[in-house]
Structure 1
């Protein structure tokens, strides 16, 4: 552990964080949080099945062909968001206790839960993308104040090299804040696009099931004559 600590202390990254002051430590913590949120969000969306949809598409085909029970069996017990919404729409359409309005409301409730799960954690990324550059700017301002205080106290004997070094350290926090905010903003935009796509798919899925459920079953072509 001692050798590891010595290696970390001697690394350039650790040196930049140490020289940048307390704002650099906060920005470093935000970078770790950003990575954790992105990895957790990828895992959460994978569990939600946002990149799937084969079972729900098969259920729609069966439902449109009039195979009601087969359509229900295609999505029964599936964990993905699309399958759960399809199961809710088909199940309430087959249940005589639900009229059309109640069936749509129950399906909308299930869809809202799925959409809420798809957007969980996005506020954290939005907050990081907002405050990381502000923390960097704050660190730069504080560093510049310290640098000019040294210049004022030194008077005519001020060393330009020391002043330039202080300004360089101060500007480092702005660069670090932007380095954290940019990936967080990109990840936020990507996750929002996934949630928007999921919302569109769920609306289309439920509408197709309810519209097809109101139509009589289509006769099969070339049906054998009795």
Structure 2
């Protein structure tokens, strides 16, 4: 970036005043959150279900050991499928309790994926409002200068005050639009992961192997009684 561009940016910040500085701070925070969330989703590959599909095939073929070995439990879907399979293999655990615990763990995993999305939503909502506030304050200042000039009003002074006032609205929208887009995209990713979890865990509980283990557990409970 050359000196003229830097001076222009500094000039915009000075003209916009504290509102533009606050919006710039919002943009830095939003960018940090987006990069962090992208790294989080990329590192765990939460939407990938290749290993889950292969593991479910092994589970349906009554091969729980192979199914567990195939799962990569750093991923939330794999972890919950593995937890469900291991829990069903424990003879003294009730299926309803297993489902409740899986639901609790699923909510915990989804909340981790939703972390810091709320601040993005707040930034997206506040940025255009702050920009509008800066514009209103700038317009008030421009009209005060116009009033003070009396009959000697210079149109260039008024137009200069107006464009300076509108600058904050433009900055507010420039911050809000990409933040809204990224927030919606990240929320949609979490929704897809939630649907994947629901689908995969349901397949664990509805296959014949699960029914066999549940029946076996019920017989062992009756025998113990």
TM-score between both structures, scaled by the size of structure 1:
0.88
SS of 1:11 mapped into structure 2: helix
- Which residue of the partner structure matches residue 32 of structure 1? 28
Q: Are 1:182 and 2:177 an aligned pair?
A: yes
- Which residue of the partner structure matches residue 134 of structure 2? 139
Structure 2 counterparts to residues 62-141 of structure 1, below 5 A: 62-75=58-71, 78-141=73-136
- 1:51, distance to aligned residue in structure 2 (A): 3.1
1:47–1:80 CA contact under 8 A, matched in 2: no
1:48–1:118 CA contact under 8 A, matched in 2: no
Q: Are 1:162 and 2:120 an aligned pair?
A: no
- 1:123, distance to aligned residue in structure 2 (A): 0.3
CA distance in 2, matches of 1:93, 1:123: 36
1:93–1:100 CA contact under 8 A, matched in 2: yes
TM-score between both structures, scaled by the size of structure 2:
0.89
- 1:216, distance to aligned residue in structure 2 (A): 5.0
CA distance in 1, matches of 2:189, 2:120: 15
The match for 1:18 among 14, 18, 21 is 14
The match for 2:147 among 135, 149, 152 is 152
1:129–1:182 CA contact under 8 A, matched in 2: yes
- 1:104, distance to aligned residue in structure 2 (A): 1.1
Describe the shift of the 1:7–1:97 C-alpha distance in structure 2 as closer, same or farther (beyond 3 A): farther
Q: Where does the alignment leave 5 or more consecutive residues of structure 1 unmatched?
A: 218-226
SS of 1:157 mapped into structure 2: coil
Q: Where does the alignment leave 5 or more consecutive residues of structure 2 unmatched?
A: 214-225
RMSD: 1.9
The match for 2:44 among 27, 33, 48 is 48
Q: Are 1:200 and 2:195 an aligned pair?
A: yes
- 1:7, distance to aligned residue in structure 2 (A): 4.1
